[in-house]
Amino acid sequence: MGRPEPARRYIQQEPSAFEVNPVYGKVPVLIHHGNPLSESSIILEYIDQIWKNNPLLPRDPYQRAQARFWAKVVEEKLLYPGWHAVCLEGEKQGRAVKVAIQTLEKIEEMLKGKRFFGGDKIGFLDLIIGFVSYMLPVWEEVASVKIFDPLKFPSIAAWKNNFINHDVIKGEYLPSRADMISYFQWRSRELMPKYASSLHY
């Protein structure tokens, strides 16, 4: 089956992710002064160092290290299992969902009492976890699974609301839900055969 229109639109953007990120072929890629930068956390660290008037990472070295630690946890134990749940079926899918839920439990504990992960303002970790507010619900719908339960994760639910309605996040920056659904449906159909044999949960 061919690519749906939203997939064509994202994938045919110039330059392609493979041109600017030949090692992984993944987005996001930031091109600054003609220089491409890949990997979300590396891009955010770069932004933090270049545009110093809006710090993203905490100043305190321990808090800084903690933010980096949680970014790693989120990528390995929430982002990837969440996405894999969309591309797997049966018991493997169930186990991927479980890993993602266990990570949300730890994040809920860490977030308690805070407006944003960075404190009062959106910071590095908020942007790393941001996908939970708009992409994860789409993945859940595409995969027909439940990962994020607002009753079980009230602090994350409140954060999600603060984050998605923040002036720098809301608006026309995010793709529409319908576009995302159609893109991820197509992408999961493409990856399912490959992941069924290569991914182990």
Ligand X SMILES: N[C@@H](CCC(=O)N[C@@H](CS)C(=O)NCC(=O)O)C(=O)O
Chain positions contacting ligand X, by CB under 6 A = 17, 26-28, 39-40, 75, 187
Give the nearest distance from C-beta 185 to ligand X in angstroms. 13
The residue (of 15 and 28) whose beta carbon lies closer to ligand X is: 28
Q: Which two tokens stand for residue 197?
A: 């044999």
> Shortest gap between Cβ of 151 and ligand X (angstroms)?
27
Q: Provide the β-strand partners of residue 31.
A: 36
Work out how close the CB of 39 gets to ligand X at its nearest, in angstroms, rounded to a whole number. 5
With vertex at residue 82, the alpha carbon angle to CA 8 and CA 163, rounded to the nearest 5 degrees, is 85
* Nearest to ligand X of 115, 179 (CB atom): 179
Which of 122, 180 has the CB closer to ligand X? 180
Query: Could you tell me the smallest distance in angstroms from the CB atom of residue 96 to ligand X?
Result: 15
Question: How far from 70 is each of 21, 34, 195, CA to CA, in Å?
Answer: 24, 30, 26
**Residue nearer to ligand X on the CB measure, 28 or 150:** 28
**Who's near 61: CB < 8 A, 6+ residues apart?**
none
Decide if 122 contacts 68 (C-beta within 8 A). Answer: no
